[in-house]
């Protein structure tokens, strides 16, 4: 069998072909094959996007940590905490936004604190609630995801788990938010907006 690589036509070994173009896209085409013991590639279109890491940010100062310039093709963002702490008692939250700015209202969000066999649910509407019962000595670690549910309506969902580093407790996160535009930014802040970060690291992965 001969395999030919051509700058214009790509790789061609009829009836299978692999074609590329200057945009970096690659098209793989194969014929449908009938039979009881064959696997057929379904004729569908889609995008295979890479998993990209952001730049880790030290959450040691300021009242908010922002990740901006998130590409328009992103469908899921994972936010990761390591030892994140503030100097106050206001609950942590995650807010998302578009080129028009960060959205600060109309979130459907509940964070459940699980501790010593009991659980307490806290509703937050100004962002995705990440933890409750904060204090100056509390640290948080873990991750949560923000995923696109429906591109036609701009609905995003949030879910995940964070663990407290100072006690045997964790936080179960769940929520949803509708955006009127394309998500391009994520903010980690507190509900009161004035407590200051004083320890830890935050980063994101997007895909």
Q: In the Cβ-directed half-sphere of 82, how many Cα atoms lie within 13 Å?
A: 7
pLDDT at res. 156: 98
- For the record, the structure tokens of 64 come out as 């908010």
pLDDT at res. 122: 95
pLDDT at res. 166: 86
Three-state SS annotation for 45-96: CCCCCCCEECCCEECCCCCEEEECCCCCCCCEEEEEEEEEEECCCCCEEEEE
Task: Band the pLDDT of 133: cuts 50, 70, 90.
Answer: confident
Task: Band the pLDDT of 147: cuts 50, 70, 90.
Answer: very high
- For the record, the structure tokens of 92 come out as 């942590």
CB count, 10 Å around CB of 82? 17
Domain ranges across the chain: 1-46, 52-206
- For 25-67, how does the pLDDT look when each residue is reduced to its tens digit (9 = 90+)? 555 555 555 555 555 555 555 556 689 999 999 999 999 999 9
- The rounded distance, in Å, linking the Cα atoms of 21 and 62 is 45
pTM above 0.75, yes or no: yes
Burial class of residue 79 in the structure, from the number of CB atoms within 10 Å of its CB (0-12 exposed, 13-18 middle, 19+ buried):
buried
52-206 has which fold? Jelly Rolls (2.60.120)
pLDDT at res. 102: 98
Contact 43, 192 (CB under 8 A): no
Rg (CA), the chain: 22
Please give the average per-residue pLDDT across 175-203, as a whole number. 97
């Amino acid at each position: 069998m001969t395999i030919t690589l051509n700058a214009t036509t790509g790789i061609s070994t009829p009836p299978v072909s692999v074609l590329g173009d200057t945009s970096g896209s690659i098209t793989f085409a194969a014929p449908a094959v009938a039979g009881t013991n064959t696997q057929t590639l379904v004729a569908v279109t889609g995008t295979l996007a890479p998993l990209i890491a952001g730049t880790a940010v030290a959450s040691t100062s300021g009242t908010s940590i922002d990740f901006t310039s998130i590409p328009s093709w992103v469908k899921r963002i994972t936010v990761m905490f390591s030892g994140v702490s503030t100097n106050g008692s206001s609950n942590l939250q995650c807010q998302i936004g578009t080129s028009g700015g960060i959205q600060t209202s109309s979130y459907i969000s509940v964070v459940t604190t699980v501790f010593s066999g009991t659980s307490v649910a806290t509703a937050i509407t100004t962002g995705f609630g990440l933890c409750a019962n904060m204090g100056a000595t509390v640290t948080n670690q873990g991750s949560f995801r923000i995923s696109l549910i429906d591109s036609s309506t701009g609905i995003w969902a949030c879910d995940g788990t964070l663990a407290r580093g100072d006690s045997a407790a964790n936080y179960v996160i769940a929520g949803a938010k509708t955006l009127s535009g394309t998500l391009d930014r994520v903010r980690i802040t507190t509900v009161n907006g004035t407590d200051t970060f004083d320890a830890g690291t935050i980063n994101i992965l997007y895909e």
